[in-house]
Amino acid sequence: MSKMDEVDLVQANILASGCNKKSVRIVNGFGKMMGSKDMVNVDFEKDSNMDYLLRRDQEEKEKYAKNKHISEQPWTLNNWHKHLNWLNMILVVFLPSIGWYFALSGRAPLTWRTFWFSVLYYAVGGASITAGYHRLWSHRSYTARWPLRLFYAFFGAASVEGSIKWWGHSHRIHHRFTDTVRDPYDARRGLWFSHMGWMLLKPNPKYRARADIEDLADDWIVRFQHRHYILIMLLSAFILPTLVCGYFFNDYLGGFIYGGLIRVFCIQQATFCINSLAHYLGDQPFDDRRTPRDNWITALVTFGEGYHNFHHEFPTDYRNAIKWYQYDPTKIIIYMSSLCGLAYDLKKFSHNAIQQALVQQQQKKLDRQRAKLNWGPQLTDLPVWDKQDFLKEMEKRKGLVVISGIVHDVSGYISEHPGGETLLQAALGKDATKAFNGGVYRHSNAAHNVLATMRVAVVKEGEDAAIKFAARRGEIYAKTAKAE
Amino acid sequence: MSKMDEVDLVQANILASGCNKKSVRIVNGFGKMMGSKDMVNVDFEKDSNMDYLLRRDQEEKEKYAKNKHISEQPWTLNNWHKHLNWLNMILVVFLPSIGWYFALSGRAPLTWRTFWFSVLYYAVGGASITAGYHRLWSHRSYTARWPLRLFYAFFGAASVEGSIKWWGHSHRIHHRFTDTVRDPYDARRGLWFSHMGWMLLKPNPKYRARADIEDLADDWIVRFQHRHYILIMLLSAFILPTLVCGYFFNDYLGGFIYGGLIRVFCIQQATFCINSLAHYLGDQPFDDRRTPRDNWITALVTFGEGYHNFHHEFPTDYRNAIKWYQYDPTKIIIYMSSLCGLAYDLKKFSHNAIQQALVQQQQKKLDRQRAKLNWGPQLTDLPVWDKQDFLKEMEKRKGLVVISGIVHDVSGYISEHPGGETLLQAALGKDATKAFNGGVYRHSNAAHNVLATMRVAVVKEGEDAAIKFAARRGEIYAKTAKAE
Ligand code: HEM
Ligand code: HEM
Ligand SMILES: [Fe+2]
Ligand SMILES: [Fe+2]
Ligand SMILES: [Fe+2]
Ligand SMILES: [Fe+2]
């Protein structure tokens, strides 16, 4: 038969990475945390041009074939600073350090009002990341009207995690390439790497990956936020909290330190936990083929994003937690927004698909437990005896009993039998099928299991009975046509 | 082939009921709660004589064939008193009523000291039932030296639940015939019947059952307690608590009412719960073929006997609970006794057998859940298409995609695809095996499940690939030799 035409993989990968689009893409953003000048000034022509991109990939490849890229070189006293991404070092290490220095040295006393404002602002910025950056833009799990999008774009920037465009791009790559070398936060490289290492170190261009973000580029709010990211970020992350705390509580310094630096540190670390802890710690109720895990601790600090095993399995579901007792306020925010018309088209995976995953994962766990136990020999591994074989064998060992077409050697069990020695003794050398199966006593499932460990042979012509008997405890044998 | 000799069922049943033994048996005890004169004065000759027993069974049968036994007659104003077992009515209804009358009417004020003595004595009497009557004598789950047996025999009588011999006999019958008409406390007849009905009503002699209790009859302590049961019971259940509370706290009446009547009522009701509630309420982690259930509430009032699902599955295990957080003080008492040499030969079912039961029961539950879900059609139920069939069908519906030897109709899913419309559109009419399985994106298990619901056909010569693909999500197909 002539074969079916196959999907053109090169073409499909170009589609999947969005390289066919005439929209502005982020190519240099990988490994950088947020908009640098480089990033904002994208070359519209070149960066949307597949030929250019492929050519450049090729050039890079040749370049690093000769002299290794810094990420492949060992750390030395001379090159350590080249390993680091200094922009990100400043944004996630140095800035927070200044904040902590002021806070811990007592130079900026924390007032209750500033504290509560910072907590509130933490929630506003955090929820803008989870409901906005993540579930809305990265996963399109629902559609939002512009006022809500504007809100998320402005206050999302307050968390200092980069522009929506950059964030969504690397996040889509993370989902598409989870647990591979192309995964920006590849959890297999350890807790530290997936937590912060990936953004503090220069990544290997060999593993550059792309994702289609045309829909993001189509959103004027995303475009605007990306283009003016640094300004918006400074405004919402630092200037606004400083001014609010200064104007209302006369605490400019506290507003900057706690409402700005420390708060940013906290929300950054909480978000990073999704890449690190949520791939290490917790349960895998839906699938354990990949690293993501469900964990209420990470959920607590990230407004529900900690149910990460569910999320990787059902990424376009607007929920991350489905049980009523699991903490997922982001899902509630989205649902509330839909009630007042700010959001619509909330996506869910079907109940059927979710239950299937649960059942299959439980099955896997059960199979693993089962494999550790002694279930006795399989029927198919037993020799077949006729009456003569049985009688001959009885001369050697006295403890043989036939039950449902299977010969068992119960020698070691006679004195242990819960139903007494006498009954078992009276069954030696005989067919005790009826007695065992209710004629005297209908044995428990446990008794069937104990019995199976004593199997020694199948009785000729007893195969059907044996298969039926074994099925009672879950053994399944395909009836194969015998070639006799 | 000539057949194997079968176990003689009549003979085996005679053995199982102990009717071959020359030991004194309880034949009339069934349905009576404790030693009446009738019961104590057993006819040694007759009651151990199988011919006599069978003859009497036969006579009874003929008798009740003509005029129905009272238990088969409807209740009327004229015959209601004949339905009842008045001895038991007195012991489990009237006596406690007297106690409650005194207690509630304030005629016997309860002092703290009498209260605590009664609680303690409740525990002593109760544990003698659970560790002695039940796990030692009824189930031989360990062996005890005479001082411990004497203790259990005396204080067990304080719970007013009949002699060891009578108790052990009906309990063994309960285990051997659980959930059948011969089960004295047949749970299928309802909560009330299994709680008290069975002992307050006259039982139908048609369902009389016997169990081997030769080992009990061989124990001089059991024999002695049985013969002098009424005396011992009065002493330990009523006279002793009255004297103790009278002598030490000067509270004779309180001792009789609370330490005697009310305490007896409480321990009786708690024990009855094992026959009623423990067969109705709770989980069935080990097997759900029969009614017994694990329930911490019943465990709490019966010193651990509430883990009744375990117990019916593993009756000769000296433990009823195996998890550290489950409440089973009786097991601890037995274990402690073994440490100080009063008990030995503690029996346990193997870890393997216990785990097997758990795994099998979980498997059953999982299979039930699985059966409720839509897994898509089985491969074996699909038509087989060659390329021509496929192309012809494509003219009618555009949404066909081949993945791993299976044709899917994805029409309804294109706009829903989490990976975008474009990619799916580019795969229509083609073989997307590689793209789906990692060439573009290695799809999640959830995606495999969604995909399976869209199956329409198997590709000719694609069967092997299809079977392998289906196996990834747990589907198993026996490879059958095709007759082509
Ligand atoms: C040959 C292998 C046998 C094994 C492994 C076995 C195992 C067991 C086990 C585990 C129990 C207690 C658990 C339960 O089922 O409730 C039991 C009880 C019993 N068995 Fe067996 N049995 C065997 C053969 C027989 C035979 C041939 C007879 C009768 C002729 C018999 C009669 C009984 C009776 C009467 C009980 C007591 C029921 C009770 O009081 O709970 N058994 N057996
Ligand atoms: C025909 C039936 C298909 C179904 C039912 C399906 C289903 C899904 C599902 C459920 C997801 C999200 C969940 C996950 O796997 O992580 C997904 C994502 C994806 N699918 Fe498909 N898919 C199909 C075909 C294809 C094809 C033919 C391609 C490529 C040519 C493709 C490419 C992708 C990509 C790139 C993603 C996005 C990965 C991400 O960002 O998480 N799919 N698909
Ligand atoms: Fe993740
Ligand atoms: Fe995500
Ligand atoms: Fe029971
Ligand atoms: Fe029992």
The pLDDT assigned to A67 comes to 80
Average pLDDT over residues B446-473: 94
Contact by Cβ (8 Å): B193, B132 = no
Q: Which of B1, B212, B373 sits opposite A359 (nearest CB)?
A: B373
Q: Which residues of A touch B374 (CB under 8 A)?
A: 352
The mean of the pLDDT values for chain A is 89
B251: closest CA of chain A, how far (Å): 47
Q: Which of B7, B420, B473 sits opposite A435 (nearest CB)?
A: B7
Asked if pLDDT for residue B149 goes beyond 90, the answer is yes
Residue B480: band (very low, low, confident or very high) from pLDDT cuts 50, 70, 90: low
Average pLDDT over residues B412-434: 93
Task: Name the residue of A436, A442, A450 to mutate for ligand 1: max ligand atoms within 8 A of Cβ.
Answer: A436
Asked if pLDDT for residue A33 goes beyond 70, the answer is no
The pLDDT assigned to A10 comes to 84
The pLDDT assigned to B478 comes to 72
Whether B374 contacts chain A with CB within 8 A: yes
Contact by Cβ (8 Å): A125, A263 = yes
Asked if pLDDT for residue A265 goes beyond 60, the answer is yes
Burial of A62 (0-12, 13-18, 19+ CB in 10 A): exposed
In whole angstroms, how large is the CA radius of gyration of chain A? 32
| pLDDT tens digits along A454-467 | 999 999 989 999 99
The pLDDT assigned to B49 comes to 66
Tokens for A435, please give them.
């007695």
Question: For residue A454, is it left (φ>0), alpha (ψ between -120 and 50) or beta?
Answer: alpha
Average pLDDT over residues B377-383: 95
Tokens for B465, please give them.
């690939």
Asked if pLDDT for residue B40 goes beyond 50, the answer is no
Ranking A389-398, B17-26, B50-59, B227-236 by mean pLDDT, the lowest is B17-26
Other Cβ atoms within 10 Å of A375 Cβ, number: 19
The pLDDT assigned to A49 comes to 65
Q: Which residues of B touch A182 (CB under 8 A)?
A: none
Asked if pLDDT for residue A34 goes beyond 60, the answer is no
Contact by Cβ (8 Å): A305, A311 = yes
Closest ligand to residue B423's CA: 2
Residue B484: band (very low, low, confident or very high) from pLDDT cuts 50, 70, 90: very low
The answer to whether the CB of B414 is under 6 A from ligand 2 is no
Of residues A229, A194, A273, A221, the one with CA closest to residue A29: A229
Ranking A250-254, B33-37, B419-423 by mean pLDDT, the lowest is B33-37
- A451-471 burial, b at 16+ Cβ within 10 Å, e below that, comes to bbbbbbbbbeebbebbbebbe
Q: What is the DSSP letter of A32?
A: -
Whether A319 contacts chain B with CB within 8 A: no
The mean of the pLDDT values for chain B is 89
| pLDDT tens digits along B182-202 | 898 999 999 999 999 998 988
Average pLDDT over residues A177-192: 92
Q: In angstroms, rounded to a whole number, what is the distance separating the alpha carbons of residues B310 and B168?
A: 19
Measured in whole angstroms, the distance separating CA A90 from the mean position of its chain's CA atoms is 29
| pLDDT tens digits along A282-310 | 999 999 999 999 999 999 988 999 999 99
Q: In angstroms, rounded to a whole number, what is the distance separating the alpha carbons of residues B7 and A147?
A: 84
ipTM of the complex: 0.88
Residue B24: band (very low, low, confident or very high) from pLDDT cuts 50, 70, 90: low
The pLDDT assigned to A41 comes to 47
Ranking A47-51, A349-353, A413-417 by mean pLDDT, the lowest is A47-51
Asked if pLDDT for residue B4 goes beyond 60, the answer is yes
Closest ligand to residue B439's CA: 2
Number of H helices, E strands in chain A: 27, 6
| pLDDT tens digits along A116-145 | 999 999 999 999 999 999 999 999 999 999
Asked if pLDDT for residue A43 goes beyond 60, the answer is no
The pLDDT assigned to A35 comes to 41
Contact by Cβ (8 Å): B198, B190 = no
| pLDDT tens digits along B390-414 | 999 999 988 999 999 999 999 999 9
Q: In angstroms, rounded to a whole number, what is the distance separating the alpha carbons of residues A444 and A450?
A: 10
Coil/strand/helix, residue B358 = helix
Asked if pLDDT for residue B43 goes beyond 60, the answer is no
Q: What is the DSSP letter of B92?
A: I
Coil/strand/helix, residue B344 = strand
Q: How many alpha carbons lie under 13 Å from residue B96 in its C-beta half-sphere?
A: 15
The pLDDT assigned to A68 comes to 83
Does the pTM surpass 0.90? The reply is: no
Domains and CATH numbers, chain B: 84-360 (no CATH), 379-473 (3.10.120.10)
Sign of CA dihedral A80, A81, A85, A91: positive
Q: In angstroms, rounded to a whole number, what is the distance separating the alpha carbons of residues A82 and A75?
A: 9
Q: In angstroms, rounded to a whole number, what is the distance separating the alpha carbons of residues A112 and A120?
A: 12
